Amino acid sequence: MSLIIIGTVAFDAIETPFGKTDKIVGGAATYAGLAASYFYNKVKIVAVVGDDFHKEDIETFEQHGIDTEGLQIKAGEKSFFWSGKYHNDMNSRDTLVTDLNVLADFDPVIPENYQDCEYLMLGNLTPQVQQTVIKRLKNRPKLIVMDTMNFWMDIAMDDLLETIKLVDVLTINDAEARQLSGEYSLVKAAKKILTMGPKYLIIKKGEHGALLFDENQIFSAPALPLAEVFDPTGAGDTFAGGFIGYMAKVGTVNFNNMKNAIIYGSALASFCVEKFGTEKILNLQEEDIAERVKEFVNLSSFTI
Amino acid sequence: MSLIIIGTVAFDAIETPFGKTDKIVGGAATYAGLAASYFYNKVKIVAVVGDDFHKEDIETFEQHGIDTEGLQIKAGEKSFFWSGKYHNDMNSRDTLVTDLNVLADFDPVIPENYQDCEYLMLGNLTPQVQQTVIKRLKNRPKLIVMDTMNFWMDIAMDDLLETIKLVDVLTINDAEARQLSGEYSLVKAAKKILTMGPKYLIIKKGEHGALLFDENQIFSAPALPLAEVFDPTGAGDTFAGGFIGYMAKVGTVNFNNMKNAIIYGSALASFCVEKFGTEKILNLQEEDIAERVKEFVNLSSFTI
């Protein structure tokens, strides 16, 4: 049994008010895979890179017990590259460069040993590629989590709606929930989105935490107030990876387990933003995570 | 022993996407007083109105057990009037009319029987008037809560800083916390503001809940996700009134009691926005409040 994560494995160049990086390894599958690996030891990624991707970078995955058989390496091609600059508030950013490169015609390959997939994380990619992965799995996974963004709502809404139909959990931010549903109230937005296919909706609100909805319940998770946000890149993917990794670990899909999965995902994301790129989430200890989760408990508990 | 609330008692004319009202009774002291009256039976208000204010409106206070001896009625003058129109998102609004009228030279009178004040709520007013009230009390109250807004930071920062020095709890929103401290991170903003006088800071984030800070701890309170927000007017004042009313009821000032006070204040505020003006908070039953508080518990509890 395994957890498959599909998404980008890529190079990023990031500028924040605190500094800038050269090309560093990033991408949704990278962040989500690393985060998930802290909870579950059968994480497998599906992605594509060019031959500019270094052997050491692939070894980093393997050191975290992540199976890279589904990571295609295209000879003579270049990896996806994104470059962005964050504004002073760290909540908004300008994209400086987006070079699709190998991503332009990404055709995901599912190795035979990935067919034991029980948990599937569809990282942010074209909805059609996300759908292809679901169709290439012989058995429907027990839990499919899909992340997406406003960009696909703008240019590929029909494909997006087709893919959404097939998943269990959708993760989007509040502006995207409003765009997808046409409703301003998040309660109404959630109600509508839960008729589109997913049984659960997670609305990510960045520094304001996250909301989990099913048909009958709502859970409001806090975000840890941080003195410094060093680099927000990958925080959403880290959250999603921590979420599905924790779900794979506990093995039972229900609302209560998802509440905890959101706290664990948020804890991982709170580490992610403390350093540039993946630096902080490369070397977490179990105690670090337990300590951080305790901070979330203290932050939000009250007794009435 | 009593709880004194100083603030505006006024007329509002409100337009929202759901409808509009003629002049209805509003004002910070009105909302806060009504909210506090559900928790504590010795609420006394200090405010000023013109003789356009109706006898029935004053009786409404008395029906809620609120002492109005400190409510001055100025013959031949008009009450403060505010008119505003909310945008479709209900989070922003345009002020159409602000007629200060009696508020222009408001000199708060503290009746002798108010000198037993243990809890003092300084509703949003000029910082100088807020300070005058503190100075006219012979004994320093056990708990002074002060609400203010960006307007006073823009035009009366020195007075504001003088008044802030004298209070225990400051309640402002996130943009105001950033403006007052010059720090974007709310953690850093809170640290700075807690050196300015208050021992506790409440940052109100509207639909994203609220944060309570003291020197060593943070509490993140959720907001109840609502399908309809009918009219947000007075929600912040209702929150503050519920907060201090609950604190007066429990009688011990500490972080844990403030956490609960925030939940009760938020519960009252969630009722307030369900109808125009004070309509909904005029006739709440104890069971309504208990039920609503239970929703907050369910919304935010998890077991790790």
* pLDDT value at residue A17: 87
CA–centroid distance for B201 within its chain: 14
CA–centroid distance for A212 within its chain: 15
Identity at B201, one-letter amino acid code: L
CA distance B33 to B39: 10
* pLDDT value at residue A195: 98
* pLDDT value at residue A284: 98
* pLDDT value at residue B214: 98
Question: In the block, which residue shows the tokens 């002060």?
Answer: B146
* pLDDT value at residue A265: 98
* pLDDT value at residue A139: 97
**Domain range spanning residue A49?**
2-299
* pLDDT value at residue B85: 95
Q: What is the mean pLDDT of residues B140-145?
A: 98
Q: What is the pLDDT of residues A77-88, one digit of tens each?
A: 999 999 999 988
Nearest to A281 by CA among A18, A25, A95: A25
* pLDDT more than 70, % of chain B: 100
* pLDDT value at residue A290: 98
Question: In the block, which residue shows the tokens 């050269």?
Answer: A22
Check CB contact under 8 Å for A209 and B211. Answer: no
The Cα-based distances of B186 to B119, B121, B178, B253 in angstroms read 27, 24, 7, 24
* pLDDT value at residue B49: 98
Identity at B163, one-letter amino acid code: T
Check CB contact under 8 Å for A225 and B263. Answer: no
* pLDDT value at residue A270: 97
- Are residues A261 and A221 in contact, defined by beta-carbon separation less than 8 angstroms? no
The ipTM estimated for the assembled molecules is 0.93
pLDDT at A21 over 80: yes
pLDDT at A89 over 80: no
* pLDDT value at residue B148: 97
Q: What is the CA radius of gyration of chain A?
A: 18
- Are residues B249 and B35 in contact, defined by beta-carbon separation less than 8 angstroms? no
- Are residues B243 and B200 in contact, defined by beta-carbon separation less than 8 angstroms? no
Nearest to B6 by CA among B177, B163, B207: B163
In sequence order, what DSSP letters do the residues of B242-261 get, joined into one string?
A: HHHHHHHHH---SHHHHHHH
pLDDT at A46 over 80: yes
Split at pLDDT 50, 70, 90, the class of A250 is: very high
- Are residues A171 and A199 in contact, defined by beta-carbon separation less than 8 angstroms? no
Question: Which chain A residues touch B259 with a CB distance below 8 Å?
Answer: 302
Angle (CA) A154 A177 B226, round 5°? 150
Question: Which chain B residues touch A223 with a CB distance below 8 Å?
Answer: 220
Split at pLDDT 50, 70, 90, the class of A18 is: confident
Check CB contact under 8 Å for B226 and A188. Answer: no
Question: Which chain B residues touch A303 with a CB distance below 8 Å?
Answer: 256, 260
Question: Element (H or E) spanning A286, and its range?
Answer: helix A286-300
The number of folded domains in chain B is 1
- At B236, list the tokens: 């912040």
Give the B-side interface with A, CB within 8 Å: 88-90, 184-188, 191, 205, 207-209, 211, 217-223, 225-229, 256, 259-260, 263, 293, 297-304
- Whether A258 is in a domain gets the answer yes
Angle (CA) B222 B142 B8, round 5°? 65
Positive or negative torsion for Cα B63, B68, B69, B71: negative
Q: What is the mean pLDDT of residues A21-43?
A: 97
- Chain A residue nearest residue B290, CA to CA: A304
Check CB contact under 8 Å for A185 and B223. Answer: no
pLDDT at B18 over 90: no
* pLDDT value at residue B88: 80
Q: Kindly state the DSSP code that residue B208 receives in the 8-state scheme.
A: G
Q: In this predicted structure, which of A259-268, A280-289, B86-95 has the lowest mean pLDDT?
A: B86-95
- At A146, list the tokens: 């899909």
pLDDT at B25 over 90: yes
Check CB contact under 8 Å for A300 and B219. Answer: yes
Phi, psi of B90 (to 5 degrees): 65, 5
Check CB contact under 8 Å for A211 and B225. Answer: yes
Bridge partners (DSSP) of residue B46 are B6, B70
CA distance B243 to B250: 11
The 3-class secondary structure across A110-164, one letter per residue, is CCHHHCCEEEEEECCCCHHHHHHHHHHCCCCCCEEEEECCHHHHHHCHHHHHHHH
* pLDDT more than 90, % of chain B: 96
Q: What is the pLDDT of residues A108-164, one digit of tens each?
A: 999 999 999 999 999 999 999 999 999 999 999 999 999 999 999 999 999 999 999
Angle (CA) B157 B158 B163, round 5°? 95
Q: What is the mean pLDDT of residues B184-194?
A: 96
CA distance B190 to B187: 5
pLDDT at B247 over 90: yes
- At B161, list the tokens: 């800083």
Q: What is the mean pLDDT of residues B136-162?
A: 97
Split at pLDDT 50, 70, 90, the class of A92 is: confident
Question: In the block, which residue shows the tokens 């035979």?
Answer: A112
Q: What is the mean pLDDT of residues B88-117?
A: 93
Bridge partners (DSSP) of residue B144 are B120
CA distance A260 to B145: 35
CA distance A27 to A103: 11
Better-scored residue on pLDDT, A230 or B65: B65
The Cα-based distances of B144 to A158, A210, B88, B133 in angstroms read 56, 33, 36, 11
Q: What is the CATH number of the domain that holds A165?
A: 3.40.1190.20
Identity at B166, one-letter amino acid code: L
